[in-house]
Amino acid sequence: MATTATSPSTIGSTPVSAAQASAAAAAVNKNGSIANNFQTFLTLLTTQLKNQNPLDPLDTNQFTQQLVQFSQVEQQMKANDQLTQLVSLEKTAQTTAALAYVGATVAIDGSTAKLANGSAEWSFSSTKPASATFTIKAANGETAYSGSFAINTGTQAFSWDGRGNNGALWPDGDYTMTISAVDSSGQSTAVTTEVQGQVQSVDVSTTPPVLTIGGQTYSFDKIKRIIGFTG
């Protein structure tokens, strides 16, 4: 059973003694709060019952209400403990699942790929055949390459050799590709992009954990599929 934190210090017409009130308060302070020590609730109730006026005892209905309050607080405390345990278990499960990705090559929703040794690769998917303009920008926002191509429905690959429209080779680093497309009737067509990379590390200090792929961080919901693991 349990009660509220604002339990009265008198019952009937006889007050709880100062020493008893002080002892109860000390017990509460020792444990930080009433909610942290259910036994304190019982002590307060017992003290009230012992010090009620025999000629004017606590009303039965009022006593029943206090018992109900005790019970409600007890149930809430147990529910909070169970929720805390569930949250802890969920965090553990997320951490375990995240660590399993280390070393895996995955495909993720994203538009930033790493140019290395003259090669950067993306995958994209279109809902219908269209004419598309591909624009690749460096990390500083400068356009490195732009070109127009006809694309088909479904998932396709796009590979860039690191050379700009003027033929100059761009340095290795992160490059972001955007695609704007229109169908045969001139209507805008949705095109999504994804990149592939190896999961280099997992940061389990965040909730949920985040994966580092190609120097970029991604949450679990960005992963579309696992391609394989390095041997």
Tens-place pLDDT, residues 196-205: 888 888 887 8
Q: Are residues 140 and 91 in the same domain?
A: no
Among 155, 170, 166, residue whose Cα is nearest residue 119: 170
Domain boundary among 77, 97, 117: 97
List residues bridging with 146 in a β-sheet: 135
Domain boundary among 97, 124, 152: 97
Q: How many domains does the chain have?
A: 2
Q: What is the pLDDT of residues 57-66, one digit of tens each?
A: 666 666 667 6
Q: Are residues 111 and 207 in the same domain?
A: yes
Domain of 218 in residue numbering reads as: 104-229
- Its pTM stands at 0.53
Residue with tokens 């100062």: 18
Question: What is the reported pLDDT for 63?
Answer: 63
Q: What radius of gyration, in Å, describes the C-alpha atoms of the chain?
A: 33
Q: What is the pLDDT of residues 164-180, one digit of tens each?
A: 999 999 999 999 999 99
Domain boundary among 74, 97, 120: 97
Residues 75-101: what's their mean pLDDT?
72
Band (4; pLDDT cuts 50, 70, 90): very low
Q: Is residue 219 part of a domain?
A: yes
Residues 188-192: what's their mean pLDDT?
93
What is the Cα–Cα distance from 159 to 149, expressed in whole angstroms? 13
Q: Is the pLDDT of residue 143 over 80?
A: yes
Which pair of structure tokens corresponds to residue 151?
């694309």
Question: What is the reported pLDDT for 230?
Answer: 63
Q: Is residue 4 part of a domain?
A: no
Q: Are residues 92 and 112 in the same domain?
A: no
Question: What is the reported pLDDT for 225?
Answer: 81
Q: Are residues 211 and 131 in the same domain?
A: yes
Q: Are residues 80 and 30 in the same domain?
A: yes
Cis? peptide before 209, omega within 30° of 0 = no
Q: Is residue 161 part of a domain?
A: yes
Q: Are residues 64 and 156 in the same domain?
A: no
